[in-house]
Amino acid sequence: MDNINSVAGLKNAIQLLEVKQSAEEQLLKEQLIVVYESLKPINLLRNTLKKVFSTPDLIENISGSAIGAAGGLLLKKLFIGKSGNIFRKLIGSVLQMSATNIVAKNSDLIKSVGHFIIQYLFGRKGMNSKGQEKERITLGL
């Protein structure tokens, strides 16, 4: 800051500092309001969910894990049935863990096979390049 040599210069410098202080105080209040709004629980939850659902890799991993868990649980239920045998339950748990891991690692393949089966069962006949209807593909099973 420059040296102030007169009373008028001092009053002018004080007014400039008061204006600067007022502007900075207003900015600080605005920032405080923004921080307060962002720390509300509903806003924290909303922002977290936006980040989670905007990440495509995470959604793929979650869906793969869900498919794996469902497949493992189904296999365990099929193997154990209504049995009360402790060894059968133990083997069922091991099967469930194994199936869950295998299905979770190969979830893309399982999804594509599932899409193919759904298209095969419920899809319409497709058109070939000449605009004619194509025959449905049969699996021969």
Condensed to tens digits (0 to 9), the pLDDT of residues 7-40 reads 898 999 999 999 999 999 999 999 999 999 888 8
DSSP, collapsed to helix, strand or coil, labels residue 127 as: strand
47 assigned to some structural domain: no
Of 69, 93, 65, the C-alpha closest to 79 is 93
Q: What residue numbers bound the domain in which 34 lies?
A: 8-42
50 assigned to some structural domain: no
CA distances from 135 to 4, 57, 76 (A): 94, 37, 39
133 assigned to some structural domain: no
63 and 24 share one domain: no
Phi, psi of 45, deg, nearest 5: -65, -45
63: CB partners within 8 A, 6+ apart: 107, 111
State the amino acid at position 50 in one-letter form: K
66 and 96 share one domain: yes
97 assigned to some structural domain: yes
Number of domains in the chain: 2
72 assigned to some structural domain: yes
pTM beyond cutoff 0.75: no
61 and 117 share one domain: yes
